[in-house]
Structure 1
Amino acid sequence: MNYKRRDLISLTQIRDEELSQIIELGVAYAKGEVNEKLPLQGLVIGIYFLKTSTRTRTSFSSAALRLGAQIISYGPNDLQQNTGETVQDTARILSLMLDGLVARTAGSREDMETLASQDNMAVINAMTEDEHPTQALADLTTMIQHFGRISGLRVLYLGEGNNTAAALALSLSRFSGTQLYFCTPPGYGLPQETMLLAQQYAKQHGSIVIEQHSMVDLPPEFDIVYTTRWETTGTIKKDPDWKEIFRPFKVSKVLMDKYPDAVFMHDLPAHREEEVETSVIDGPQSIVFKQAENKFHGACAVLHWCLKPTGNF
């Protein structure tokens, strides 16, 4: 079947208008406003996860099925890469049989780009160690749902400068007037390359991206307080006492009371009473579970954008 193949490996590889297009499509799916039924009927999507996943794996599997595609799921021990076959050969074989591949490696982006090096199969990055692009797309979909806009939003991110933080920096900075403050523990900030690129985007769009390693001298108002689990999938902390280093960056009710008009976001899974108090995640300011639901709507949008048969939406 002929279709317009697109990969989504990194947010840096798509244009501003494409980023907005995917987010707007996610909002349309969330509102039930996509009229075309089964747009991916007849396609076969591989779901290839080398690391654990609840939301991302379920959202893409469910989205593919509901959009009319069929899926083949692979776990970490299912492909012959486990016995020494190269990523290049694996990609070549899968591309002869699949229309798309949703992959979580939690390793470097290099393997993901190798999977995408063939010409037949669209490849979607469901998380690498340096970026979680589909999480950011779900997050921005949630922001539009709640605020009616992205431009001008003020976001405080607390915790490790991990792949979710990187994706947030590389996406939110591309909307005019946004302010994104990263408060990360010393030694656990965003990679310098990511920050420099996000700040370049910010300069182009009249937005702000700042990183600091303490909780002092923060602006008096935010629209969103965001955190993630401190133990990112597949990573190990270099400091034996790392939890003490992270403790000042916990999201508490006291902190949320300083920003009574802000909402709380978390990419989940949460370690309650570590990075966030239960009273916050279950409290009136939390939109965490709406955010999680938008993983599904975002997955619909990404699959649609990457694999839609030739033609317009």
Structure 2
Amino acid sequence: MKMTDLKGISILKETDLTKDTFESLIDFAIQLKAEKKEGVRKRYLEGRNIALLFDKPSMRTRAAFMCAATELGAHAEFLSDDDIKMGQKDTVEDTAKVLSCYFDGIQYRISSQALLDDFAHYATVPVWNGMTDDWHPTQMLADFMTIKENFGRLEGITLTYLGDGRNNMAHSLMVAGAICGLNIRICAPEALQPDEAVFDLAQSYVQQSGGTITVTSNVDEAVHNADVLYTDMWASKGEESEIGERIELLKAFQVNRQLMEKTGKPETIFFHCLPAIHNTDTEFGQMIYEKFGLTALEVTDDVFKSNKCKSFDQSENKLHTIKALMIASIIGEPS
């Protein structure tokens, strides 16, 4: 399966992509990034319209889709939950069918994966998951592009994720990594380890891809010989009231300079999908300091501001991978 086979296809979760399509999209995104740097502008989606539906706000996802559409010659229209009001007067089916009349592709960022799946079922144009509570495929494309830029390959790369192993990032990394042949280690306290069904799903891919999936609470073993250390916020939106409990559970899983050194590899890099609580320069960071006496949570400022940190490369690469995804879904293989 190559990019041509994605034409007209919705990407709602990582399993909607194969190893071939992951790699084809990433390679095309790398090409698009190089062309932009050289000043080459190809308006593959001239005259097309893209809908951006947001039930959950996001600076990076919205900006990446808006800029991607504009650079490709398409018009992007932002629609908030107040604009849509799906389920109040218009049903999910009716809304999906109406928007499909106007738009050539629809990005939807919403909490409920079930609602996204239902919406995509009735839509007659490609639908892209901008993030749900379960999956985050556009982030995986950006992350894996960043890995390939740094190491020249995906297969055999060892990525260790530290923190809340039950969230959409940990689950997506497990499944996408298994599809693409990475060695994924999820390092989390026992109370926050991945869903068993997601672990089993990831394991179903590793025999074919050659990757491995490991879940552990042993930090030293998890980071040894890792190429990438990855973490995420300790409390997702809506979980801020639980931050005291999370700090107690996760303080041993903080990515700091000492932990980076424990990999034993000077070329190890650091990933974070952002936002990151790495200092006290935000309201949340200041609250953490005042209440708990901590100047950082999941990653320390010295790691985040070092040349090991590739978080802003990840953010930039969302633009290029989203461009590749939209082109493949709407027109197939570019000429």
Moved more, 120-129 or 251-260: 251-260
Task: Tell me whether 1:209 sits opposite 2:232 in the alignment.
Answer: no
Give the TM-score of the pair, scaled to structure 2.
0.86
Does the Cα contact within 8 Å between 2:220 and 2:262 map onto a contact in 1?
Answer: no
Does the Cα contact within 8 Å between 1:63 and 1:296 map onto a contact in 2?
Answer: yes
> What is the aligned counterpart of 1:265 among 265, 271, 275?
271
> What is the aligned counterpart of 1:66 among 62, 71, 80?
71
Q: What letter is aligned with 1:96?
A: C
Task: Tell me whether 1:306 sits opposite 2:329 in the alignment.
Answer: yes
SS at match of 1:265: strand
Q: Tell me the residue number matched to 2:305.
A: 282
Q: 1:240 to 1:224 in 2, by over 3 A?
A: closer
Does the Cα contact within 8 Å between 2:160 and 2:186 map onto a contact in 1?
Answer: yes
CA distance in 2, matches of 1:219, 1:70: 44
Q: Unmatched 5+ residue regions in structure 1?
A: none
Q: Unmatched 5+ residue regions in structure 2?
A: 1-5, 279-295
CA distance in 2, matches of 1:155, 1:311: 30
Does the Cα contact within 8 Å between 1:91 and 1:114 map onto a contact in 2?
Answer: no
SS at match of 1:157: strand
Q: 1:19 to 1:237 in 2, by over 3 A?
A: farther
CA distance in 1, matches of 2:243, 2:7: 47
Q: Tell me the residue number matched to 1:252.
A: 256
Q: Tell me the residue number matched to 1:173.
A: 178
Structure with bigger RCO (C-alpha 8 Å, 6+ apart) = 1
Q: Tell me the residue number matched to 1:77.
A: 82
Moved more, 132-141 or 241-250: 241-250
Give the TM-score of the pair, scaled to structure 1.
0.91
SS at match of 2:8: coil
> What is the aligned counterpart of 1:14 among 1, 7, 17?
17
Alignment deviations for residues 20-57 of structure 1 (CA, whole Å, 9 cap, x no partner): 21121121112228977111111110011111201111
Alignment deviations for residues 157-215 of structure 1 (CA, whole Å, 9 cap, x no partner): 10112112222111122234x32111012222222121111112112222111011232
RMSD between superposed Cα atoms in Å: 2.2
Aligned identity (percent) is 30
Task: Tell me whether 1:116 sits opposite 2:120 in the alignment.
Answer: yes
Q: Tell me the residue number matched to 2:314.
A: 291
Q: What letter is aligned with 1:306?
A: S
Q: 1:289 to 1:36 in 2, by over 3 A?
A: closer
CA distance in 2, matches of 1:57, 1:239: 27
CA distance in 1, matches of 2:333, 2:178: 30
Does the Cα contact within 8 Å between 2:234 and 2:246 map onto a contact in 1?
Answer: no
Q: Tell me the residue number matched to 2:136.
A: 132
> What is the aligned counterpart of 2:104 among 99, 106, 109?
99
Q: CA deviation at 1:305?
A: 1.3
Q: What letter is aligned with 2:308?
A: Q
CA distance in 2, matches of 1:293, 1:129: 23
Q: 1:37 to 1:219 in 2, by over 3 A?
A: closer
CA distance in 2, matches of 1:130, 1:140: 19
SS at match of 1:74: strand
Q: CA deviation at 1:4?
A: 3.7
Moved more, 288-297 or 35-44: 35-44
Give the structure with the higher percent helix.
2
CA distance in 2, matches of 1:296, 1:231: 26
Moved more, 199-208 or 62-71: 199-208
Does the Cα contact within 8 Å between 2:234 and 2:243 map onto a contact in 1?
Answer: no
SS at match of 1:187: helix
Q: CA deviation at 1:237?
A: 7.4
Q: 1:148 to 1:217 in 2, by over 3 A?
A: closer
Q: How many residues were matched structurally?
A: 308
Q: What letter is aligned with 2:152?
A: G
